Amino acid sequence: MDLIRVAVPFFLLAIAAELLWGWWVGRNTYRLNDSFSSLMLGILSQAQKFLRLGVGGVVYAWIGSSVGLDYWRVDAWTTWFVAFVLYDLCYYWLHRISHERQLLWAAHVAHHQSEEYNLSTALRQTSTGFLFGWIFYIPLFVLGIPPEVVVSVGAVNLIYQFWVHTRHVPELGWLEYVFITPSNHRVHHAQNDCYVDKNYGGVFIVWDRLFGTYQPELADTPCIYGIRGPLLSWSPLRALTHIYIDMLNDIRQAASWGERCQVLIAKTGWQPGSIPEAARRQKNDLSQFHVYDPAVASARRVYGGLQILGATPVAPLGPASGTERDSGVVNFYTAIVDRSRYCLVA
């Protein structure tokens, strides 16, 4: 069972419900242009799942057959529980380093570009995460956790994260100490100085409390959403590539090979000291912050809506039947998803 594919209709219904609720209570958190951008990036992101499984799957298979560790010989519930917790720990470090290092930030930034915060933001995903993200889950396979379990708990982890992308749910008492909630994930998406690079967990906030990256939402500091170098565009191509382009420009203009190599591994936002002042990127002045909301002609709004409606039914949300299954990558994916049924019923 492909859990993500099953969940997508419920995601869309929840978005519609949140939109209606916002109108009902006089606190709408949606803008048409921003939400269309998020949904289109979500549709595009589905194309990379096969690449991720194809690249990572080769390594995972090699580990399973060559390292010499057998799969866990324990009951299914213990395997599930351990895998679920350890997956979130691996996700924490992937997520944290994706904010702290430029090369991984380039793949993750699309999720943070929205200057609104609602359930459609959860679907605003990268299409280049397959390049490096799979590396962080290798420890699960080295420990001998079966691949079908890893895929299943990864899907559950991702589904959980959907509901925390809302402004309509307040703090939730003791849950704030254990789980990622809408309140502490709002902090994660904010660009305020006190909120930047905080609250990285997927399901559990415990990791942030342990590793010093926890920050509660402050009543006197409203979250300002988006990124400090605003995108100022609705182009999905620009949304997915602008950090890569910035890095290439820095490499081109750097005076030494040492600086050029450092661009790839430097902290997010770093630029070589030798590049011209005119090429230095400026951050938002949050005291003068305004959301990017240019006027859009009605005809273009209708055209954008038709694009979304046309793309959604044919988006590659999971393995299909027929000739699509002839791909080796899809066969790998299908085999793992089919095996995950054992984890769901055992």
Predicted local confidence at residue 313, as pLDDT: 53
CA distances from 119 to 16, 58, 116, 165, 324 (A): 9, 34, 10, 5, 31
Cα angle 156-160-163, degrees, rounded to a multiple of 5: 150
- Residue 11: give the domain boundaries: 3-226+301-345
Predicted local confidence at residue 74, as pLDDT: 67
Tell whether 238 is covered by a domain.
no
Distance of CA 319 to the CA centre of its chain: 21
Tell whether 261 is covered by a domain.
no
Distance, CA of 283 to CA of 126 (rounded, Å): 22
Predicted local confidence at residue 92, as pLDDT: 98
Distance, CA of 181 to CA of 178 (rounded, Å): 9
The 8-class DSSP code of residue 66 comes to H
Distance, CA of 3 to CA of 7 (rounded, Å): 6
Residue 25's closest CA among 172, 168, 223?
168
Look at the block and give the residue holding tokens 């997956």.
87
Predicted local confidence at residue 75, as pLDDT: 72
Range list of H helices, 236-283: 236-253, 257-265
Q: Quick count: other Cβ atoms within 10 Å of Cβ 170?
A: 10
pLDDT tens digits for 21-51? 999 999 999 888 888 888 878 877 766 555 4
Are 29 and 168 within 8 A, CB to CB? yes
Bridge partners of residue 190, in order along the sequence: 225
Predicted local confidence at residue 320, as pLDDT: 38
Tell whether 175 is covered by a domain.
yes
Q: How many domains does the chain have?
A: 1
CA distances from 192 to 41, 77, 284, 331 (A): 25, 41, 10, 45
* Residue-level pLDDT, tens digit, the chain, 346 residues: 567 777 878 888 999 899 999 999 999 998 888 888 888 788 777 665 554 555 566 666 666 666 545 566 667 788 899 999 999 999 999 999 999 999 999 999 999 999 999 999 998 988 777 678 888 998 988 888 888 888 889 889 999 999 999 999 999 999 999 999 999 999 999 999 999 999 999 999 999 999 999 999 999 999 999 999 888 888 888 999 999 999 999 999 999 999 999 998 899 999 999 998 888 888 878 878 888 888 777 777 676 666 666 555 545 444 333 333 333 333 443 444 444 433 333 3
Residue 109's closest CA among 124, 91, 94?
124
Predicted local confidence at residue 327, as pLDDT: 37
Bridge partners of residue 101, in order along the sequence: 267
Residue 118's closest CA among 195, 198, 43, 223?
223
Q: In this structure, is the dihedral angle defined by the CA atoms of residues 279, 283, 287 and 290, taken in order, positive or negative?
A: positive
Predicted local confidence at residue 333, as pLDDT: 39
pTM over 0.85: no
